[in-house]
Amino acid sequence: MKFPAANGFWVLDDRLVIAEDWHVEIWLDDAESVATYMMVWTTLRDSAVYGPDAQNLISRAQRQVRPSR
């Protein structure tokens, strides 16, 4: 499953995640929450594109914003 990032978060190690919402920063240190964010991180990492694929994606987005005249 691929999906976009919804909010910022940092996995500091296998014991602490800091997540940001619109109005609060949340420090999560229970094993279940850390495991959830690790799963989200893995899914986001696997959804990312790199190298030539990333350049192609950027180029397509640029063409949509600035179509040739």
How far is residue 68's CA from residue 14's CA, in Å, rounded to a whole number?
48
Angstrom CA distances, 6 to 12, 13, 18, 40, 44, stand at 18, 21, 14, 10, 10
Query: What is the maximum alpha-carbon separation in the chain?
Result: 55
Boundaries of domain holding 57: 9-65
pLDDT in tens, 7-35: 899 999 999 999 998 889 999 999 999 99
Residue 2 lies in a domain: no
Question: pTM of the full predicted structure?
Answer: 0.70
Query: d(Cα 66, Cα 14) in Å, to the nearest integer?
Result: 43
- Structural domains counted in the chain: 1
Residue 53 domain-assigned? Answer: yes
Q: Is residue 32 part of a domain?
A: yes
Q: What is the pLDDT of residue 69?
A: 60
Nearest-5° Cα angle at 15, 46 to 23: 80
Residue 22 within a domain: yes
Residue 17 maps to a domain: yes
- 14 part of a folded domain: yes
